[in-house]
Chains A and B, each alone.
Chain A
């Protein structure tokens, strides 16, 4: 094994030219709309994204799914655009468009030839304020989102299990409700529900424009001022207060059985802190912890459960700190044939205990940091992912400075930071342990 490459490579990388963030320009329009421009002049292509700081966790109680429903309805038309015309126009210009909704944001995007950016802005700014909906739109599109729920969730026992895990993890926060919505509430979503959410949250002072590709920041600014600039800010934009979690004081367990399950597994989630403005250290430590514990072939869980013993066919650890409120740190163990879920869970807990005992492998931490540095080079090959990174972070309340500091915050994390974060996050009282089981299986 040749260890020499790692430090050598790391040294060289520090001298690498132009990091990803240097291609980024940010400014704010007078009406409060934030703008991020990411330049890449290799191909005459542009991507426009508009992110709204409104997602499923901002929905009124009893209207789960309305943020996502509205996302669908935004393709229905405005005073000056017929239903479907926006997408048809993007396609007629050789572009693609779509949208997505999450707990904390809703985003719309188009990819198209760079000289069509003005047309894209014209249409996107139009539907920010001029949406027109009719009752037939509502009925048909509601059936579409119910079929989407069928496809994503009800037809997949793993998704149904995950939905139950989340619901049990959050005692009081909206993250416990699925983004797509609970079926019985989706069935009742009305035109008024959708429009109320729209008028509350869709405004330039609640939106972030992200333009990436073959554009000059000055040109983007002029176009943004032309199309988004005249839209008035919403003075009544509500602050983003959500019901917060009380102290979690009881470890929770659940079993989910379904005849469609072929491969049972154990899932564990812990309530975990998220990135906060100016305060990202703990989230950075947890990001590295997830890599060390379950990020691949060389990770601790994989070593203990798949190499030292043949307890699992797969194991992993997951954490993403880009969230407005408390997120989760997740573990997954898929037992090998002949290994029960109880044995798999016990082995996972023994491995966690061993990790807390043994501490961080310095060589692995070095390799992970090396990969994070290299990621800044590779990311320049996919500027839309830089745009996504900014859009998502700004939509959950982080600042441009937080985004730009994040790589350094990650590099500054020490082994001690990681162990402290691990000890803080692995509290049984804030955990949920779930077993996904075959329909016929006993709970052992």
Chain B
């Protein structure tokens, strides 16, 4: 009786929900390509513009310049100072988001059809003519510094920074893109201007739009908004060497619950075995309550509120990471159980049933991501940045379903490397010590 519902459900699950995402590839009169999904039922447009490179383009000694520059884009442009710019955006009920991460600077805009031209005009000025007024630089810098000081006392941030430094060394990935207190304090307005020149260029720009806009309108918009950007930006840094040796590093910090950030080398997004890894990681630690890590560490033993593992394929290096938080008295046991699960999956692989369940989940959950204009625009910009074709959306579930038990278990054996899995533990964990060789 108990199993009946589940069996029935599994049979039903063969046909995932699917809304056709009809992507048009638009080329503007000025030669800018953009992906568009027309959706005229709601009178607004979500626009996403990604500039590949991100904070990894920071010049030597200028760590944090691109992050600060990005935060300053909304702090005044052309003839409007910070407050005049904000008032104008509010009056249009538009919203502009500017975000810098390791591999890209992303602009997410949302504006009503009825005042689209004015909104685009404002957005354009923030990209082309940001003022970087000294008072704005100082004001926003103080906010960044306040955040950095807080990060230094947050066990999760401490653990993440330690892991990055260990895995990527001197590569930009090895340090926080927000910079350090020292580097951000030293940044000048000229550094911000240089960061701006380095990021905004047409050679690695990706545009998508979803909403109440036609291909012709989008073409004109793209030209007006982006056509005058320079052809090339700052050179991308080289690929990073990932060097992770197994073991434990304890970073002493007085707090009741230890936080562990763990990981090993990963697998690239364009590796032919990527989907096999993606599917077995679903079983190991990406699932909700069903993953092996959640079952063993939380459901059976009550050692944590959450434990996760995830593939982190970045543009210039790939790692396989995870995190867990557990009381100081129980963290050692949590680490032991995670190591055992890592080893067990490498040695014995997954079962047919686990594989089938993971595929059903992944293929069923994929269409659920396409649930709003804003989400779809974001996904389309991300796909372009990863050089995926528009029909990837149609084929993606086939890639998942093509993973065989042999594939999953072979890749698990090859990728999972328990002897080179490293835990950075922040806290006062009983019975855990930094291992030799660190």
Contact = CB atoms under 8 A, between A and B. Distances in A.
Given A92-B13, A94-B363, A382-B372, A298 B90 contact: yes
Contacts of A306: 139
A119 interface: yes
A88 B256 contact: no
A96 B88 contact: no
B137 interface: no
A377 B112 contact: yes
Contact of A75 (B86, B112, B289, B366): B289
Contacts of A95: 364-365, 368
A362 interface: no
A404 interface: no
B325 A155 contact: yes
Nearest to B143: A313
Interface in A368-392: 368, 370-371, 373-375, 377-378, 380-382
Contacts of A145: 305
Nearest to A336: B142
Interface string B84-104: 101110111100000000000
B92 A9 contact: yes
Interface string A83-110: 0110111011111111000000000000
Given A1-B87, A377-B44, A381-B372, A80 B5 contact: yes
Residue in B91, B139, B152, B300 whose Cβ sees the most chain A Cβ within 10 Å: B91
B371 interface: yes
Contacts of B142: 310, 313, 336-337
Interface in B1-50: 1-3, 5-6, 8-10, 12-13, 15-19, 39, 41-44, 46
Interface in B223-274: 254-257, 259
Contact of A1 (B80, B254, B303): B80
Contacts of B83: 297-298, 303, 307
A213 to B, nearest CB: 8
Contacts of B304: 144, 147
A93 B93 contact: no
A12 interface: yes
B302 A373 contact: no
B417 interface: no
Contacts of A191: none
B255 A263 contact: no
A262 B149 contact: yes
B298 interface: yes
Nearest to A310: B139
B215 interface: no
B290 interface: yes
Given A81-B2, A113-B17, A93 B302 contact: no
Given A5-B118, A84-B290, A93 B42 contact: no
B290 A12 contact: no
B288 A87 contact: yes
B115 interface: yes
A423 interface: no
Contacts of A144: 298, 302, 304-305
Contacts of A116: 9, 12
Interface string B293-330: 00000111111111000000000000000000111000
A318 interface: no
Given A154-B256, A367-B90, A139 B302 contact: yes
A12 B118 CA distance: 14
Nearest to A142: B302
A284 interface: no
Contacts of B42: 377, 380-381
A1 B91 CA distance: 11
A364 B87 CA distance: 8
B390 interface: no
Given A91-B287, A378-B110, A314 B143 contact: yes
A92 B146 contact: no
A13 interface: yes
A366 B93 CA distance: 11
A5 B364 contact: no
A84 B87 CA distance: 50
A155 B302 contact: no
B317 to A, nearest CB: 29
Interface stretch (A39-47, A199-207, A319-327): A39-47
Contact of B88 (A1, A88, A91, A115): A1
Nearest to B150: A262
Interface in B133-154: 138-139, 142-143, 145-146, 149-153
Nearest to A291: B90
B199 to A, nearest CB: 23
B221 interface: no
B86 to A, nearest CB: 4
A95 to B, nearest CB: 7
Interface in B351-378: 357, 360-368, 370-374
A9 B2 contact: no
Contacts of A17: 43
A5 B82 contact: no
A111 B369 CA distance: 11
Given A155-B155, A155-B257, A119 B17 contact: no
A147 B39 CA distance: 44
A298 B287 contact: no
Given A88-B6, A113-B17, A363-B87, 7 more contacts: A119-B9, A144-B305, A147-B304, A263-B150, A297-B86, A313-B139, A378-B44
26 contacts: A5-B92, A9-B92, A16-B114, A45-B368, A80-B2, A84-B299, A87-B288, A92-B6, A92-B9, A96-B368, A112-B17, A113-B367, A116-B9, A119-B8, A123-B5, A140-B301, A141-B302, A144-B305, A147-B304, A147-B326, A150-B305, A151-B325, A296-B86, A297-B82, A298-B90, A337-B145
Interface of A: 1-3, 5-6, 8-9, 12-13, 16-17, 42-45, 75, 80-82, 84-85, 87-89, 91-98, 111-116, 119, 122-123, 139-148, 150-151, 154-155, 259-263, 296-298, 303, 306-307, 310, 313-314, 334, 336-337, 363-364, 366-368, 370-371, 373-375, 377-378, 380-382
Counting from the closest, the 8 A-B pairs by CB-CB distance are A94-B364, A143-B302, A374-B93, A113-B17, A150-B257, A43-B19, A297-B86, A148-B305
